[in-house]
Each structure stands twice: as C-alpha cells, then as structure tokens.
Copies of this chain bind each other. A is one copy, B any other.
Amino acid sequence: MIIDGHSHVTLPIEEHIQLMDQVGIDKTILFSTTFHPELANNAQEVKEKMKYLNDLLAGKKGSMLEARKASIMELVNAIKQYPNRYIGFGAVPVGLSLNETKEYIEENIVRNNLAGVGEFSLGAGQAHLLEVIFEAAREYHKLPIWIHAFNPFTLKDIQETVSIANQFPEIPVILGHLGGTNWIETMDMVAETPNLYLDTSAFYSTFVLSTIINEIPEKCIFGVDMPYGDLELSKQAILKYAKTSDISKAVLGDNIAKILNI
C-alpha cells in the first residue's frame, strides 16, 4: 500500500483525491491547516496569506485556538467524504495546562477518531512545550505525535524533543522534514531511538534523502506536505533513490501502516 504520510487538507478535496488516483497513492495521512496557500493566485496573495498565518501564530490577530478548531472541522469533513482514503492527524495548541490539553484532545482528536496529533510547528527554544503533549497523548491510546523539525526548530530543539521522546517510549514520534539542515545529527538520533521516525517531506537534496532512506529505511516515512510539495515528483524521488524495492516499499507505506495499524 502506498501512503502519503504527511499532507495538509488541500482544496478542492475532490481534486486531491483525483491526483492521488493518478499518482497511485492509496491513502493520505491528512493534517489540518489554518490557511490554504493553494488558493492563492500569485505571490502577492501568497504573501498576504503567509502574513495572516504569522500574525495568527504570534497572537497578533484572531484566536489561534478558534482557527485550529475550525481547521479540525474542515479536516473531519474531508475524512467523512473519503473515509477509505484519508486518516487524520489533528492540531493541538501548546501552552495549555495538562488538564486543558487532555480536554482539548478528548474533544477534538479522540471524539473525531483522529489517529494522531500534530503538526507541531514550534519556534526556536519551544521544544519544552511538547512535554505536556506527550503526557496527554500517553493517556489516549498512545497517540502518535508529529513534529515539524525544520527551520525555525533548531538542533537544540530536536535534541530536547528526542530527550522527551525517550521518556515516553510507547509513543511513536515522527520528526518532520528529515530534521531539515540538521539531518545528520537527527538521522543518528532516530537510528538509536526505537520510537522515533523521520518524515521525508520538504527534502531539499536528493543526496540527503538517498543517504537517509538507505541507512534507516525502517524509520523513514514518505511524506509530501501538500500543498507545499509535489505528490508525483516526491514519489518518483523515493522510487529513484531507494536501493532496493524492500526499501521503497517500507518508506512508501509499510512503516506508517505498521505505526497506525492500517
């Protein structure tokens, strides 16, 4: 089974499903999103949408909590339309108390039958905020946690995240984007830590992608990060650089299927 392990709700949903059919993707692990760059027509509109998101994240505009809840509704509706093609991960705010976090997860993740929590996109120096998320996730069927590990997340943040993950060995943790420019150190930590995995989306070098997927194939999860990445070219890259068909099979679907019991 070929599974895109990381993409955001990309509108219109029908076109995303058609594209999955064309490229030969059986399922997508779908993440909520608070904005839709795929609806922008040009750079000016992209910039306006990015600015809005940044203001939202910085607390300058609107309520991030409300925006997150609305995005989960959108995610849940997409999954309801295509229950055999989509499996959902839902965003959870950081900075809440343990009890508030548990309530949020109960209400938004568990009741909606979502399979995991994330994407956590934190700023530099914010990794410690994940500790409460891990504690809450443990209580709900050991929900997997998906963490953006590219810029602005630093190597120190990744190390701190790994250290927290070590305290929760029963929770699968997926570090996004191969650890970004800190890929060597991240690869080594993931190799050593049983509950850590790497998502391949947003790779900026096929040399890096190739090195990692052939070194720790059982730890790599194919991801596209739509609408930011290209489904077809991303799949081609894995098929081209995996040294064996066992490796491409593991990365392109088997690994995430095992984690999520698909």
The answer to whether the Cβ of A151 comes within 8 Å of any Cβ in the partner chain is: yes
A42-B214, A215-B42 known; A207-B37 Cβ under 8 A = yes
- Complex interface bits, A167-184 against B, C-beta within 8 A gives 1, otherwise 0: 000000000010011001
Measured between alpha carbons, how far is A150 from B206 in the docked complex, in Å? 16
Contact B233 A207 (CB under 8 A): no
Measured between alpha carbons, how far is A78 from B112 in the docked complex, in Å? 60
The answer to whether the Cβ of A60 comes within 8 Å of any Cβ in the partner chain is: no
- A225: which B residues are within 8 A, CB to CB? 205
Q: In the complex, which residue of chain B has the Cβ closest to the Cβ of A42? A: B215
- A211: which B residues are within 8 A, CB to CB? 40, 42-43, 46
What is the distance, in angstroms, from A238's C-beta to the closest C-beta of chain B?
11
Interface residues of A in 35-63 (CB under 8 A from B): 37-38, 40, 42-43, 46-47, 50
Contact A205 B233 (CB under 8 A): no
Contact A240 B229 (CB under 8 A): no
Contact A202 B202 (CB under 8 A): no
Contact B215 A43 (CB under 8 A): yes
What is the distance, in angstroms, from A47's C-beta to the closest C-beta of chain B?
6
The answer to whether the Cβ of A203 comes within 8 Å of any Cβ in the partner chain is: yes
The answer to whether the Cβ of A82 comes within 8 Å of any Cβ in the partner chain is: no
Interface residues of A in 185-243 (CB under 8 A from B): 187, 202-208, 211-212, 214-215, 225, 227-230, 233, 236-237, 240
Contact A228 B208 (CB under 8 A): yes
Measured between alpha carbons, how far is A151 from B151 in the docked complex, in Å? 9
A-B contact pairs, 14 of them (CB 8 A): A38-B207, A43-B212, A43-B214, A43-B215, A46-B211, A50-B184, A152-B181, A202-B204, A207-B227, A207-B229, A208-B228, A230-B237, A230-B240, A233-B237
15 additional A-B residue pairs with CB within 8 Å, beyond A46-B211, A150-B204, A151-B181: A37-B207, A38-B207, A40-B211, A42-B214, A43-B212, A43-B215, A46-B184, A47-B184, A150-B181, A151-B151, A203-B204, A205-B229, A230-B237, A233-B236, A233-B240
